[in-house]
């Protein structure tokens, strides 16, 4: 039986209570326990600020990038171990686990290269000076490291990527980390941190991990800290309203619920390449990670004239999916992460039922390969159809976090944009149109509603990373109900962890200041 530990103040510590169990979602078997009772979160944050923070702040951007490269190497050396843990604890197929494990390592490597390019300075300065008076009095804007700690509270669906994509940006910015993974899948995060600690690649105090409840973590927040949360909108609201957060006013970034949209262009026909490209992405939405991606397609908007053909085609493709034990090569859809998530998915489906009809799935699969539906947290890939979207509510509001999509017809592009807006802000949208001009028109209209818009036209074809895949070069986050946060995006991600300051003075002083910095636009 595995007993996960927290890593705080540069040592692994046990919780003092029995804790909660975490399981293999394929079999329901208990894998181990997790508990943070008695872990001093205030001391962990103090140690990060006073030990890890100064160590990172004294390093150049290039040196911080070297740290990320060393972390990536330590993790890459044990990739097979991480893939196995992802299968056992998250129910991931090999493809699913790669998205999480390889995605985390690749993001570390990307930011390692980015930091190397910033050179041997510790400060960034924006291009150009602003003249403030007739005399020699100007201003320039600089970015410097904040003297706080980065607090990460992560969701269950990406225990690797969710941790390391945040760690990568924070370390480049010079900020130490105290991370709290979701308890149900924390085994992978804890094992990876153990490997990094064993490799001895980080200065003391730079990385801490709280395994279990975050009780006490927010109580100890201070003004120069940064809190990055990924999870439900309900928990996000609790964090925003926490008395210590309100009093200290730290940076707060939230990535919450998102009823993401895929849109087939008005001109598309069943014979169009765009039609096929959307079918492919819709199929991925009900298979990759069993639909448990925050950026996953939830609503599919199609022209009313092609609705029947699209539903029939997608239903046929869904019939070819194989649900079961993710250890088996033929299995394409694994279980949800645990029984709790399965119950939540059923509750969401019940909310959608009055507004939709079920074409495929909608419940526990009739059969699964190599597993028992009575023991595992299996949900059949589900295709729902709404006869109209204009007068409905739940289809625009309820995110079923599993292999579930809803097809909604529209009559005009104006109606399609209005339906997309009913999601009240989302992380991602995708557009499928064979013509670049039509695609660009739609993209401009959807952009204000989303943090990222994937546009697949004839030129792109299959040469794209997919609706749900978050790339480190692009910002990740979304407006409104998606949380209003933003992370990644290359150097743009540094904005959250660093302080921009207007330095006013003489041109000579500003030139001396610039000589100590790397000039770049964030």
Q: Structure tokens of 345?
A: 């998915």
Q: Vertex 12, ends 9 and 16: CA angle to 5°? A: 105
294 a catalytic residue? yes
Q: Return the H-helix or E-strand segment holding 155.
A: none
47 vs 369: CA distance, rounded Å: 49
Q: Which one of 138, 190, 294, 355 is the catalytic residue?
A: 294
Of 199, 173, 234, residue with least CA distance to 70: 199
Distance between CA atoms of 42 and 48, rounded to whole angstroms?
Answer: 10
Strand ranges inside 292-392, DSSP E: 297-303, 357-360, 382-385
Nearest to 65 by CA among 96, 101, 27, 107: 107
Burial class (CB in 10 A: 0-12, 13-18, 19+), 2: middle
Task: Catalytic residue, from 165, 255, 355, 415: name it.
Answer: 255
Question: In the numeric block, which tokens belong to residue 425?
Answer: 């802000």
17: left (phi over 0), alpha (psi -120 to 50) or beta: beta
Task: Reply yes or no on whether 226 is catalytic.
Answer: no
Query: How many separate helices (H) and strands (E) can be counted in the chain?
Result: 17, 24
Helix residue ranges, H only, 154-214: 161-173, 186-199
Rounded to 5°, the CA angle 6-157-95 comes to 115
Q: What are phi and psi of 355, to 5 degrees?
A: -110, 0
The 8-class DSSP code of residue 344 comes to H
CB-based contacts of 117: which residues, under 8 Å, 6+ apart?
A: none
What angle do the packed helices 61-76 and 79-90 form, to 10 degrees? 70
Active site residues: 255, 294
């Amino acid at each position: 039986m595995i007993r996960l530990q927290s890593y705080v103040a540069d040592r692994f510590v046990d919780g003092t209570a029995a804790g909660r169990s975490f399981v293999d979602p394929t079999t329901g078997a208990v894998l181990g326990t997790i508990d943070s009772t008695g872990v001093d979160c205030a001391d962990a944050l103090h140690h990060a600020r006073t030990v890890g923070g100064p160590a990172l702040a004294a390093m150049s951007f290039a040196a911080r990038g070297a740290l990320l490269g060393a972390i990536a190497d330590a993790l890459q050396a044990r990739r097979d171990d991480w893939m196995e843990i992802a299968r056992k604890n998250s129910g991931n197929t090999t493809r699913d686990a790669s998205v999480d494990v390889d995605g985390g390592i690749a993001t570390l490597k990307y930011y390692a290269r980015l930091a190397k390019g910033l050179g041997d300075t510790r400060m960034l300065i924006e291009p150009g000076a602003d003249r403030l008076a007739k005399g020699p009095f100007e201003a320039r804007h600089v970015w410097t490291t904040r003297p706080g700690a980065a607090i990460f509270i992560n969701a269950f669906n990406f225990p690797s990527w969710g941790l390391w994509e945040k760690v990568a940006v924070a370390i480049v910015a010079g900020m130490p980390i105290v991370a709290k993974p979701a308890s149900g899948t924390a085994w992978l995060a804890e094992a990876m941190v153990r490997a990094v600690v064993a490799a001895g690649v980080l200065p003391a105090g730079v990385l801490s991990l709280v395994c279990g409840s975050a009780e006490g973590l927010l109580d100890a927040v201070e003004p120069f800290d940064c809190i990055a949360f990924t999870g439900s909108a309900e928990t996000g609201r609790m964090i925003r309203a926490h008395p210590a957060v309100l009093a200290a006013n730290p940076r707060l970034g939230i990535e919450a619920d998102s009823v993401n949209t895929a849109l087939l262009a008005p001109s598309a026909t069943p014979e169009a390449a765009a039609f096929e490209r959307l079918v492919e992405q819709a199929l991925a939405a009900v298979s990759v990670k069993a639909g448990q991606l925050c950026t996953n397609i939830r609503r599919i908007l199609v022209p009313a004239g092609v609705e029947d053909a699209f539903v029939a085609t997608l239903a046929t493709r869904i019939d070819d999916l194989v649900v079961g034990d993710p250890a088996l090569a033929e299995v394409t859809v694994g279980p949800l992460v645990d029984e709790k998530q399965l119950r939540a998915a059923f509750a969401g489906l019940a909310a959608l039922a009055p507004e939709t009809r079920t074409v495929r799935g909608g419940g526990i699969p009739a059969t699964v390969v190599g597993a028992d539906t009575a023991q595992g947290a299996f949900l059949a890939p589900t295709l729902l159809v709404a006869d109209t979207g204009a007068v409905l509510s739940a289809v625009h509001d309820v995110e079923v976090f599993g292999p579930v999509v809803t097809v909604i017809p529209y009559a005009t592009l104006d109606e399609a944009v209005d339906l997309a807006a009913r999601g009240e802000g989302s992380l991602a949208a995708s557009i499928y149109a064979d013509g670049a001009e039509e695609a660009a028109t739609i993209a401009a209209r959807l952009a204000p509603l989303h943090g990222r818009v994937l546009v697949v036209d004839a030129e792109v074809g299959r040469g794209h990373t997919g609706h749900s895949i978050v790339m480190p070069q692009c910002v990740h986050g979304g407006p409104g109900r998606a949380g209003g946060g933003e992370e990644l995006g290359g150097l743009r991600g540094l904005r959250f962890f660093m302080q921009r300051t207007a330095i006013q003075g003489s041109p000579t002083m500003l030139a001396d200041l610039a000589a100590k910095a790397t000039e770049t636009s964030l």
